[in-house]
Amino acid sequence: MSENVSNRQLERFPMYLTYLLSIEDKDLVYVSAPQIAQALGLNVEQVRKDLQAVSNKEGQPKQGRKITELIEDIKSFLGYDKPSDAIIVGVGHLGKAFMNFKGFASYGIDIVVGFDTDPEVYGRDINGKPIYPFSAIREVVKNTDIKIAILTVPLENAQEAADELIRIGIRGIWNFTAANIVTPDSVVVENMNLASSFAKFTYKLEELLKKEK
Amino acid sequence: MSENVSNRQLERFPMYLTYLLSIEDKDLVYVSAPQIAQALGLNVEQVRKDLQAVSNKEGQPKQGRKITELIEDIKSFLGYDKPSDAIIVGVGHLGKAFMNFKGFASYGIDIVVGFDTDPEVYGRDINGKPIYPFSAIREVVKNTDIKIAILTVPLENAQEAADELIRIGIRGIWNFTAANIVTPDSVVVENMNLASSFAKFTYKLEELLKKEK
DNA sequence: TAGATTGTTAATCGATTAACAATC
DNA sequence: TAGATTGTTAATCGATTAACAATC
């Protein structure tokens, strides 16, 4: 159970988990690094190192690791066993989709409330979660231990919304807008940039199609 | 205008573009690498190399590059000037949000139609785009030049949906499910894994909060 | 001219991959 | 025992960062 884990490793752990859960109920007890590497198209040594980073026990030569234990280790490493409360800021199409999305619960995220500036939007409930006016955000968040905001406002409002989030004590912003929001060092921003992902996607696709000609 | 561009660079180009568009109408003519680096919190040399990779002209010492020209260069490099048609596969909460999302148009993506297996869902229009039964996908896609599918089905249906997409000739799958979908080499998959992003996010946040104690 | 920025070439850093002895 | 898998140590690779001469 090493201490320093790279971003790339962090990206892979949920992938391992998805795979392990898919083979969990198949009467198998052990899983090995080569098996995982093969299934996910990864390098064996890489998988071994990753597993070492999250696993409490050593693997058994010739067998590997117990699937159920590995699942628990990854879940606990990723904090899925103690979900974090989060708020949705901006209940447009995407914000609404997230409030409805059941999957977040299994990623350790508990969306408790949404905020929006539009009177047509706030006042209602979505999936049992209330939507309040953005102007009430300080009032609602105080006396809670909410530290995480999911930012799904329009691009042009991203920075001002982020500024307010910082003022009210939010410590982490999961940014789904294309904005390069500027924050102090006391706040963590994780960008989920659709355009960046799409740029990689089309470049790869172009290269593939070019090769065929 | 170099030939080989890394994934990391591809991720950064849309960020540059967002920044450049935000300063475009401010009576400024030139922008320099140090200015961009400062604004986006990046290394100067890195920015310089990135700009060299997409720019047709050389930058001018002491001035930098013309903002409008750089914007055009990036847009053209990313293919924003010739959008690709794409289909939405799985019109749940997320698929619906994407069909409504106006921003895709400016990323070079043109969503033309959605597919779903649920009779409650297909038959209707969203944002002027029709939704057809998934069973009709071959019929609808043939005789078009659609190569890209945006996969927003539930996790457990991801692989079978992908298999059908491959059969009907889709060449690129932008995968928003957590599934590790398996495809032949003739198909490109770009994963947009929420759980991977959230894992990086919470790890960074934990480290920050730990440091404060 | 002086100085900021450029492009290029070299050094550093970190992650991935390879090699190999140890173990059940 | 033989062989597959393990963990560890070393080599490779690629991207980032630093250094520096060239230019307007």
pLDDT in tens, A160-193: 999 999 999 999 999 999 999 999 999 999 999 9
Mean pLDDT of chain A: 95
pLDDT for residue A3: 63
Q: Which residues of B touch A180 (CB under 8 A)?
A: 15, 18-19, 39-40
Non-local (6+) Cβ contacts of B103 within 8 A are: A155, A178, A194
> Could you tell me which of A144, A180, A185, A150 has the C-alpha nearest to residue A165?
A150
State how far the Cα of B211 lies from the Cα of B213, in Å rounded to an integer.
Answer: 6
Measure in Å the smallest separation between the Cα of A61 and chain B Cα atoms: 27
The predicted pLDDT at position A4 comes to 81
- How far is A182 from chain B, CA to nearest CA, in Å? 8
Residue that has been written with the tokens 């093969």 in this structure: A38
A188 contacts B204? CB cut-off 8 A: yes
Say what the pLDDT of residue A2 is: 47
Nearest to A127 by CA among A154, A97, A93: A97
Look at residues B45, B51, B46 and name the one whose alpha carbon lies nearest to residue B20.
Answer: B51
Which of the nucleotides in strand D have any atom less than 7 Å away from a protein CB atom? 3-9, 14-19, 22-24
Q: What is the SS3 assignment for B22?
A: helix
Residue A164's Cβ-count burial label (10 Å; 0-12, 13-18, 19+) is middle
Query: pLDDT confidence of A207, banded at 50, 70, 90?
Result: very high
pTM: 0.95
Residue A11: list chain B partners with CB under 8 A: 193, 196-197, 199-200
Which pLDDT tens digits describe chain B residue by residue (213 residues)? 446 899 999 999 999 999 999 999 877 899 999 999 999 999 999 999 999 999 988 899 999 999 999 999 999 999 999 999 999 999 999 999 999 999 999 999 999 999 999 999 999 999 999 999 999 999 999 999 999 999 999 999 999 999 999 999 999 999 999 999 999 999 999 999 999 999 999 999 999 998 887
- pLDDT computed for residue A22 by the predictor: 94
- From the list B18, B192, B201, the residue facing A190 with the nearest CB is B201
Q: Residue B4: its pLDDT value, please?
A: 81
Q: Report the residue from A15, A101, A205 with minimal CB separation from B196.
A: A15
So what's the pLDDT on residue B2? 47
